[in-house]
Amino acid sequence: MSARVNESFSQLYTSPEFIESIDEEWMPWLLDGLDLGEHVLNLIAGPAFSVPALQKAATGQVTVAQLDQSSGDPVDPTRLPFPKDQFSAATAVVALHHIPSAELQDRALAELARVVRPGGIVAGLNPIDGPHFRRMNTDGASVPIDPLTFAGRLTGAGLVDVELTVWSFVRFVARVPEERP
């Protein structure tokens, strides 16, 4: 399974205005108060605009897992090619909605929980449904995050201490439990 970023989202993601808003507003909001540790996995779809902020916030390495099939060699987010407990944290910044169904998004969230060590953070930003999202989703391939059900989906993926904040995006922060079932 690979994701595809349509032309409308591609144009948005490469616009100077979008990159500036990610750098100056959205990434600081996401990273506020988070300790990502020394090795962060960053799940992305399209340009790696979130990497500079993550490199500043992490104490070590940032590994990028690209979902977009048009960007070289994409990973399958439902079967990440990393061993269990490899990362101190994982982020999904403007990426989950490019996974084509809620079921596949849930499998990707469970994979993020698998590859993050116990006690580590899984966090992200994703758009919600609305007029702007619908204008961008010209081909219907993107599936927005529903803020009313997303906390339960994170818990279902094996995460705990779920925090959700909704603005134009859903900001989520959760932890991998210290002891897994």
Domains and CATH numbers, the chain: 7-175 (3.40.50.150)
For the chain, give the mean pLDDT: 90
- By the 10 Å C-beta count (0-12 exposed, 13-18 middle, 19+ buried), 72 is classed as exposed
pTM of the model: 0.92
Per DSSP, 27 falls in state H
Per DSSP, 25 falls in state I
Is the pLDDT score of 71 beyond 80? Answer: no
C-alpha distances out from residue 23 to 1, 18, 70, Å: 29, 9, 24
Is the pLDDT score of 43 beyond 90? Answer: yes
Is the pLDDT score of 133 beyond 90? Answer: no
Which of 42-56, 115-129, 138-152 shows the lowest per-residue confidence on average (mean pLDDT)?
42-56
Is the pLDDT score of 1 beyond 80? Answer: no
Q: What is the pLDDT of residue 130?
A: 85
Q: How far is residue 60's CA from residue 37's CA, in Å, rounded to a whole number?
A: 7
Q: Tell me the range of 24-33, 49-58, 150-159 where mean pLDDT is highest.
A: 150-159
Residue 2 — pLDDT band, cuts 50, 70, 90? low
